[in-house]
């Protein structure tokens, strides 16, 4: 790279670090210290754990590994190691109190800025194209989404607010037919793509139909009203056992409200709006709905072809709308709004085939179990994704209103257990083509 390329990259990294830290700060300053130390659900960490963990990962990867500098606080590494400390045990740990955690993050960040001023972006894979910095930006953004999910689980007076997402601007069709044929899945060139998105590879799919938008609350309510939660025909054996054990009757954060339903969003109750994508459903609920509707969940490859394949050039693009980074016109990302936008609110974000809201709004469950692509190599550490392969995790795609653009692209892969629904998870359906459609 030329000198000026390196300067541009330095500037971009500094901007991304600052933008990300502003969000972390906002999420952790919205509540008092007692609240930061509290565990709002056994599924989640106290917010103060996420806060110091973000600083600790930044110290491990940037200060110590890339920078080769002395540790700042080696004594706390074990407290913030997600593998050593299960979430349910984290509140009992001798965590850094909020003020100390903030000082720790600031100390680490100062050293990172010093390092960023001097680092040479050599071919060493960890620093080429600023990868380690990009990885740390994405890591912090991922925890910012996790912290947002923790906020959603908080009880007590609302702490976060945001303007509502845009209203629908177009009518969206029910489904779109995707013609049979190969496409390129994953990437070998996106500089900040993580290990599980690599390498690019050809996947040949039969034709299929996919919903042009995520399944809405209105449609989901029909499933509930039709007794979908009480009919084992729609559920897998595992899904039905889970539905029974947990007494599931509706998405998380919903309650009956007269003849209808209300949902709680960041501490405020309101009537469920029918034209928004349903959120806070687990894989099993998504799967049961799809079966009830005479459809199925898309595979991960079907989701990605719908999101990236350009029928004119045959290329796979970074996003449904092209290769440009997302703007506020394209997608409901980045915690600008605190719930999914109604269907039709992002016409500029549609794919060439007319599939809407693939990026942002809600993470979308796919039927695919999380595994490495052919030729996968763990980088830079097995614990980012490899240790989760084949462990019953299902892949989710597309990001939610809580996901930052830095941690979301057409190739980005998220995963979780099929019973999880405290995340901002929804889905869309797909189906095989009939003989007359092929």
CB of 56 or CB of 291, closer to ligand AVJ: 56
Nearest distance in Å: CB 149, ligand AVJ: 10
Closer residue to ligand AVJ, CB minimum distance, 40 or 295: 40
Binders of ligand AVJ in range 407-426 (CB under 6 A): 414-415
Ligand-binding annotation for 143, yes or no, is yes
Give the residue nearest to ligand AVJ (CB): 142
C-beta of 150: minimal distance to ligand AVJ in Å?
12
Burial of 372 (0-12, 13-18, 19+ CB in 10 A): middle
- How crowded is residue 419: how many other Cβ atoms within 10 Å of its Cβ? 17
Between 63 and 210, CB nearer to ligand AVJ: 63
Does position 394 interact with ligand AVJ (CB under 6 A)? The reply is no
Nearest-angstrom CA–CA distance, 387 and 124: 24
Q: Of residues 346-385, which lie at the interface with ligand AVJ (CB under 6 A)?
A: none
Please state the closest distance from residue 91 (CB atom) to ligand AVJ, in A: 18
Distance CA 277, CA 273 (A): 9
Q: Which of residues 98-157 bind ligand AVJ (CB under 6 A)?
A: 139, 142-143, 146
The H-or-E segment that residue 34 falls in is helix 33-37
Contacts of residue 246, defined as CB under 8 A and 6 or more positions apart, other chains included, come to 419
- Rounded to whole angstroms, how far apart are CA atoms 125 and 129? 8
Minimum distance between the CB of residue 423 and ligand AVJ, rounded to whole angstroms? Answer: 8
How many residues touch ligand AVJ under the rule CB under 6 A: the total is: 6
Is residue 187 close enough to count as binding ligand AVJ by CB under 6 A? no
Q: Is 88 annotated as a binding residue?
A: yes
**How far is the C-alpha of 390 from the C-alpha of 378, rounded, in Å?**
15
DSSP run (H or E) holding 294:
none
By C-beta, is 351 or 414 nearer to ligand AVJ? Answer: 414
The two three-digit tokens of residue 26, written as one number: 């906002």
User: What gap in Å lies between CA 397 and CA 340, rounded to an integer?
Assistant: 15
Q: Closest CB to ligand AVJ among 139 and 219?
A: 139
- 226 or 383, CB closer to ligand AVJ? 383
Asked if 134 and 29 touch (Cβ cutoff 8 Å), the reply is: no
Distances, alpha carbon 382 to alpha carbons 131, 164, 202, 387, 392, in Å: 16, 39, 25, 6, 17
The residues binding ligand AVJ (CB under 6 A) are: 139, 142-143, 146, 414-415
């Amino acid at each position: 790279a030329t000198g000026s390329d390196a300067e541009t990259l330095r500037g971009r990294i500094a901007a991304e670090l600052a933008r990300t830290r502003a969000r972390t700060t906002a999420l952790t300053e919205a509540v008092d210290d007692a609240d930061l130390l509290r565990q709002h659900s056994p599924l989640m960490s106290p917010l103060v754990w996420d806060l110091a963990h973000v600083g600790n990962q930044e110290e491990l990867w940037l200060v110590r590994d890339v920078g080769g500098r002395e540790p700042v606080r080696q004594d706390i590494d074990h407290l913030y190691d997600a593998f050593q400390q299960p979430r349910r045990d984290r509140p009992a740990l001798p965590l850094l109190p909020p003020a100390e955690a903030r000082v720790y993050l600031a100390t680490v960040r100062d050293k990172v800025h010093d390092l960023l001023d001097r680092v040479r972006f050599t071919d060493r894979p960890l620093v080429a194209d600023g990868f380690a910095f990009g990885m740390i930006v994405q890591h912090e953004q991922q925890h910012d989404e996790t912290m947002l999910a923790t906020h959603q689980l908080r009880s007590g007076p609302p702490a976060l607010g945001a303007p509502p997402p845009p209203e629908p601007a177009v009518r969206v069709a029910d489904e779109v037919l995707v013609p049979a044929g190969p496409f390129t899945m994953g990437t070998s060139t996106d500089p900040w793509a993580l290990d599980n998105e690599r390498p690019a590879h050809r996947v040949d799919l039969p034709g299929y139909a996919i919903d042009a938008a995520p399944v809405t609350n209105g449609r989901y309510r029909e499933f509930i009203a039709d007794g979908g939660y009480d009919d084992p025909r729609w559920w897998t054996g595992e899904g039905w056992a889970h539905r029974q054990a947990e007494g599931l009757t509706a998405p998380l954060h919903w309650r009956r409200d007269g003849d209808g339903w209300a949902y709680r969003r960041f501490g405020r109750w309101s009537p469920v709006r029918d034209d928004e994508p349903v959120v806070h459903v687990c894989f099993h609920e998504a799967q049961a709905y799809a079966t009830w509707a005479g459809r199925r969940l898309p595979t991960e490859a079907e989701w990605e072809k719908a999101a990236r394949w350009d029928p004119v050039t045959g290329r796979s693009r970074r996003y449904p709308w092209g290769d440009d980074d997302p703007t506020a016109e394209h997608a409901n990302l980045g915690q600008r709004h605190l719930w999914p936008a109604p269907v039709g609110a992002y016409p500029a974000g549609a794919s060439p085939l007319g599939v809407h809201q693939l990026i942002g709004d809600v993470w979308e469950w796919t039927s695919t179990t999380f595994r490495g692509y052919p030729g996968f190599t763990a980088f830079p550490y097995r614990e980012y994704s490899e240790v989760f392969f084949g462990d019953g995790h299902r892949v989710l795609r597309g990001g939610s209103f809580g996901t930052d653009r830095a941690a979301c692209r057409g190739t980005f892969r998220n995963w979780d257990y099929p019973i999880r629904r405290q995340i901002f998870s929804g889905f869309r359906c797909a189906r095989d083509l009939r003989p007359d459609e092929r």
